[in-house]
Amino acid sequence: MIITNKTKIVYLGYNHMLKHKRGVENVIDFQSRASLSICNYYIHWDDETKAYRYQNLICIGIEKNIFWFLRLNIILHIIKRRDGEIFIHSHNPLMSIMSFYRSNLFTIHDALYYLASATKHKLNKVFYLLEKFLYLRINYVHFISNYSKKMSLIDGNKNCSIIPNTSHLEAFATDNIPESNRTKTLAKVTKIFIVRSIEERALINLIIDVADKLKTEKIEFFIAGKGPLLVFYRDKIKELGLENIALLGYVNDDCLIQYYQDCDLVLVSAAYGEGFGLPIIEGYLYNKPVIASNVCAIPEVIISSDFLFDNTVDSVISKIYFARDQKEVKYRNYYDELFSNAAVISKMNKLYKTLC
């Protein structure tokens, strides 16, 4: 097929666009902006089957029960009958597998079998078969990093492209953070900001150990995010009597932006399952140095290997001191060149134009 400005793209995802903005939904939002059509569709799971509008997307939530795949195919059939030729761009493996229509394009963030193996899932062999079957149901694959491609089970002959993510916070970011403010803050307390899902792979325990060792220093840690281990780590911080680290839980975009603006550096810790690293580029968006674990796709995204740490307390502390002293690096320029909204949308637009 040839995509024209009349071709509607149907995105297949997971969550309500108005309730989730920092995951797959954020990526789909920008991909839709790159399409040739002024209006597209987004189908996802929800508590009930209903439709709503978000930006240039007609969003359709499907109640997730045993009949969801029937509703999915009925909706796809109705869209195709109404709009003629459609182009299916999926992020949801199950929807692509269960759809009567092949997915023209599939975006992979973290491969199914890789994640199942990393978490030692008891059904990891099932995920292996699912991922292998998935590639038989799609025509073209988009990876968000070389690492996500490397960890996949994709056939070497399969057509694919690598296009990174971008951040929806760019619309609210100023071009430059005044150096005088950063220097003034640095003279008082070094504020380290972390945005992670509070789960095992985020290594929050490592950050707590670092904070414990630095409790007599003028260094504070602020961790934004929610997850299954939030209460557990809050109790641990309280038990240790640490006052230099805070688990903030979920924070909205306004608060998130404020923390990025006020911090002195951004830290991203990970054990596995990091197919990209959105907080890294958001740190650069706000012209802040970023230190991160030397694992997964992070070395691809980081501005220099000098800012990578091993997942040990001493290594993290060493990189904190190193990054704090880097005052001449133009982190925002690095973001603008490789990860800006315009750069990513342009690459995705070219991909849509060339796919047949």
d(C-alpha 348, C-alpha 327), whole Å: 34
pLDDT-based confidence at residue 181 (cuts at 50, 70, 90): very low
The arithmetic mean of pLDDT across residues 189-196, rounded, is 96
The arithmetic mean of pLDDT across residues 87-94, rounded, is 97
User: What would you report as the CA-atom Rg of the chain, rounded to the nearest whole angstrom?
Assistant: 21
- Residue 2: per-residue pLDDT: 55
The DSSP letter of residue 15 is S
Closest CA to 271 of 300, 302, 298, 293: 293
pLDDT-based confidence at residue 7 (cuts at 50, 70, 90): confident
Asked whether this chain's domains 8-166+341-354 and 169-338 adopt the same fold, the reply is yes
d(C-alpha 31, C-alpha 282), whole Å: 18
The arithmetic mean of pLDDT across residues 41-59, rounded, is 95
d(C-alpha 116, C-alpha 124), whole Å: 5
What six digits make up the tokens of 84?
A: 């003629």
- Residue 185: per-residue pLDDT: 47
Q: Has residue 27 got a pLDDT over 70?
A: yes
The DSSP letter of residue 172 is G
**Helices marked H in 119-268 — which ranges?**
124-134, 146-150, 179-188, 204-213, 230-240, 253-262
Residue 277 CB neighbour total at 10 angstroms: 26
Helix (H, G, I), strand (E, B) or coil at 82: helix
Q: Has residue 186 got a pLDDT over 50?
A: no
> Which residues, other chains included, contact 122 with Cβ-Cβ below 8 Å and sequence gap of 6+?
none
* Range with the poorest average pLDDT among 72-81, 107-116, 178-187, 296-305: 178-187
- Residue 65: per-residue pLDDT: 94
The owner of tokens 């994709």 is 154
- Residue 158: per-residue pLDDT: 81
Percent of the chain whose pLDDT exceeds 90: 81
- Residue 106: per-residue pLDDT: 97
Residue 121 CB neighbour total at 10 angstroms: 14
The owner of tokens 């057509």 is 159
Residue range 8-166+341-354, CATH number:
3.40.50.2000
Q: Has residue 178 got a pLDDT over 80?
A: no
- Residue 177: per-residue pLDDT: 52
pLDDT-based confidence at residue 284 (cuts at 50, 70, 90): very high
Q: Has residue 183 got a pLDDT over 50?
A: no
- Residue 22: per-residue pLDDT: 74
Q: Has residue 52 got a pLDDT over 80?
A: yes
Q: Which residues of 265-276 are buried (b: 16+ CB within 10 A; e: fewer)?
A: bbbbbbbbbbbb
Q: What is the pLDDT of residues 124-169, one digit of tens each?
A: 899 999 999 999 999 999 999 999 999 999 988 789 999 999 999 9
pLDDT-based confidence at residue 332 (cuts at 50, 70, 90): very high
The answer to whether the CB of 162 falls within 8 A of the CB of 149 is: yes
The answer to whether the CB of 32 falls within 8 A of the CB of 57 is: yes
Q: Phi first, then psi: what are they for 260, rounded to 5°?
A: -60, -40
Computed over every residue of the chain, the mean pLDDT equals 92
Q: What is the pLDDT of residues 227-270, one digit of tens each?
A: 999 999 999 999 999 999 999 999 999 999 999 999 999 999 99
Beta bridge partners of 309: 293
Q: Has residue 100 got a pLDDT over 90?
A: yes
The answer to whether the CB of 14 falls within 8 A of the CB of 24 is: yes
**Helices marked H in the chain — which ranges?**
24-33, 68-83, 93-98, 112-118, 124-134, 146-150, 179-188, 204-213, 230-240, 253-262, 278-285, 298-301, 313-324, 331-338, 341-354
> Which residues, other chains included, contact 282 with Cβ-Cβ below 8 Å and sequence gap of 6+?
167, 169, 195, 260, 266
Question: Looking at domain 169-338, which of 3.40.50.150, 3.20.20.105, 3.40.50.2000, 3.40.50.12160 is its CATH number?
Answer: 3.40.50.2000
Q: Has residue 220 got a pLDDT over 60?
A: yes
The answer to whether the CB of 266 falls within 8 A of the CB of 193 is: yes
Q: Has residue 38 got a pLDDT over 70?
A: yes
pLDDT-based confidence at residue 104 (cuts at 50, 70, 90): very high
Q: pTM here?
A: 0.90
**Sequential DSSP letters for 96-148:** HHH-SSPBSEEEESS-HHHHHHHTT-TTHHHHHHHHHHHTTSBS-EEESSHHH
The owner of tokens 């990093």 is 145
- Residue 327: per-residue pLDDT: 82
The arithmetic mean of pLDDT across residues 279-294, rounded, is 97
Ordered by start, the domain boundaries in the chain are: 8-166+341-354, 169-338
